[in-house]
Structure 1
Amino acid sequence: DTGVLSAQVSYSFVLNTFSHPWGELWHLHWSPHDSRLFSACYNTITEEQGTSMKCALYTLHKGEENEEENKLEPVTVLDIEAEVKVSYFHPGDPTKFLVISDSKFSVWDTGDATPVETYKKPLQSKGGSKMSNGKWNPLESGAAIATIQESSVKGWDLRTSKEVWSIEQPEA
């Protein structure tokens, strides 16, 4: 007896493929609070034969015992006029949701049946620069966001609605 505790652990995975008939997927993000809820950023063809970037929330609905497959069910499509780049669930609050588009970032309250945009910060820039990504700062109780805007990284405080720091040309 070596006194070492040994445990045998086994994992099983179920592989499913889900159809996304609403457009070409660009970004997926799973909720840290609900393992069946995720967001999808995708582009779709408009009636004018152009493309539009959208964001929607989906849930994986577990099938009944007599059903063989789980189902992908749309929860809601967010009503965003701008071209959506990415979206993220808040790391600590299951009702907050961040959407980064080319011209603004916005925070949505997803706690009710219909999500509501509770905060938005339009991009104030010269020369038409656009946002391409962003993230929640989990160290600031969800009150801070960092965004990437072409050649800069900016930090935003949602409590004051102000830019609090900026790194210009971080790749240089």
Structure 2
Amino acid sequence: MQGGSSGIGYGLKYQARCISDVKADTDHTSFITGTLSLKEENEVHLIRLSSGGTELICEGLFSHPNEIWDLASCPFDQRIFSTVYCTGESYGAAIWQIPELYGELNSPQLERITSLDAHVGKIKCVLWWPSGRHDKLISIDEETLFLWSLDCSKKTAQVQSKESAGMLHNLSGGAWDPHDVNAVAATCESAIQFWDLRTMKKINSIERGHVRNVDYNPKKKHIFVTAEDESGINIWDLRKPKSAGTDSTVNLWLASLYSSDEFTSESLVDSPTRRVDPLLHSYSDYEDSVYGNHCNFHVFPCILSYTKADWLSLDLKALLGAIVSLGSLRHYPMMGG
């Protein structure tokens, strides 16, 4: 679907609450998203931004047997992804593969590689090792973090370790730090928690109510973005974690989006008092709670955020918002550009 002066949009047949950038597709800006229909057969859409940045193109459409509540693309194989799904009675998680010649098939079917069956609680998300070819996965349910070893050739996944966050925390999502593969951020109702995978222990936290999701900036240390209730998207600098903006606002921080040698490689969770980058711009016209966000820096750097409805829109500036917002296609011009 093309976009006019108000931006670029892509319509989904049913509601969606999850989207992921396809990290392994280094030649294009690509996304994968899944729908959330209770009664109809759900769909997985493989979407690609045209070379001119003017159109979102559906590269593949695949049926999925259940409601998709979380979706994440494999960082080393663009045809592999994970979903967290609901059968109506319980939640599950699986690893899928798109058929190699899907573009030449009339009705291409997804192949289930394996399932992540160790969970007792309600599964919230699956996290892939941030970059490169690696066999590790993390899955998070309401109370527990699991570290898995995945073997795609044997179609198996084995639990390596797990740790409970406690019944009172009610985990809702998480992100794997691309700059420190031993660090994972997990969100819950009252805080953002930081975990060390070497010990599977929580080592720090930021008290913050009603955070739904979190993602790291893959090009810059210390920077991550949270999606929160009351329509809030906040971008944080972990050198000063009390610096994020207010709720009901999209805050774009001038955070030197691409990597530099300005700062040392010290752990994010160990340096909470460093200088914060200045606020660049704010947007506050969301009408719904923001359910999640992802960063993509392949061709057009962007932050993906989505509410609970069935539209995607893209702003193709230095920071971009891919927003799922009911019937609304919005373009946010950046200051100075």
Q: TM-score range by the shorter chain?
A: 0.7 to 0.9
1:130 partnered with 2:170: yes
Residues 10 and 146 of structure 1: is their aligned pair in 2 closer, same or farther, counting only changes over 3 Å?
closer
Query: Is residue 155 of structure 1 aligned with residue 197 of structure 2?
Result: no
Aligned AA (2:138): L
Q: 1:136 to 1:66 in 2, by over 3 A?
A: closer
User: Over aligned residues, Cα RMSD in angstroms?
Assistant: 2.5
Q: Which runs of 5+ in 1 are unaligned?
A: 1-8, 46-50
Cα deviation, 1:6-38, whole Å, max 9, x if unaligned, reads xxx6799554321112x2111111111100000
Quote the Cα distance in structure 2 between the aligned partners of 1:163 and 1:30. 26
Change (3 A) 1:145 1:64: closer
Of 108, 121, 140 in structure 2, the residue corresponding to residue 100 of structure 1 is 140
> Which of 1 and 2 has greater Rg?
1
1:114 counterpart = 2:156: yes
Distance, in Å, in 2 between the alignment partners of 1:144 and 1:66 is 41
Runs of 4 or more, structure 1, over 6 Å off, are: 9-12
Q: Match for 1:40 among 76, 80, 83? A: 83
Identity %: 29
Q: Distance in 1 between matches of 2:158 and 2:120?
A: 14
Q: 1:144 touches 1:157 (CA, 8 Å); kept in 2? A: yes
Which structure ranks higher in relative contact order (CA pairs < 8 Å, sequence separation ≥ 6)? 2
- The whole-number CA distance in structure 2 between the counterparts of 1:13 and 1:73 is 23
Are the counterparts in 2 of residues 63 and 69 from structure 1 also a CA contact under 8 Å?
Answer: no
Q: Which moved more, 1:111-120 or 1:62-71?
A: 62-71
Residues 30 and 39 in structure 1, CA contact (< 8 A), matched pair in contact too: yes
Q: Distance in 2 between matches of 1:168 and 1:14?
A: 40
Taking the aligned partners of 1:89 and 1:29, their CA distance within structure 2 comes to 8
CA contact (8 A) 1:95 1:109 kept: yes
Say whether residues 1:145 and 2:184 are aligned partners: yes
Question: Residue 19 of structure 1 is aligned with which of 60, 63, 72?
Answer: 63
Alpha carbons of structure 1 residues 65 and 101: separation in structure 2 relative to 1, 3 Å: closer
The answer (yes or no) to whether the contact 1:62–1:71 under 8 Å persists in 2 is no
Structure 2 runs not aligned, ≥5 long: 1-50, 211-245, 247-337
Q: 2:222 corresponds to which residue?
A: none
- Quote the offset at 1:101 in angstroms: 0.6
- TM-score scaled by structure 2? 0.42
The 8 Å contact of residues 25 and 41 in structure 1, kept in 2 or not, is answered as yes
* Mapped partners of 2:196, 2:61: distance in 1: 39
TM-score, length-scaled by structure 1: 0.78
Residue-by-residue CA offset, 1:90-119 (whole Å, 9 max, x unaligned): 113531111111011111110253100112
In 2, are the aligned partners of 1:107 and 1:117 still within 8 Å (CA)? yes
Distance 2:75 2:150 in 1: 14
- Find the aligned partners of 2:86 and 2:103 in 1 and give their Cα distance: 35
After superposition, the C-alpha distances for 1:66-93 in whole angstroms (9 at most, x for unaligned) are 7445331111111122210111211135
Check conservation: 1:62, 1:70, Cα contact below 8 A. no
Structure 2: distance between partners of 1:153 and 1:130:
11
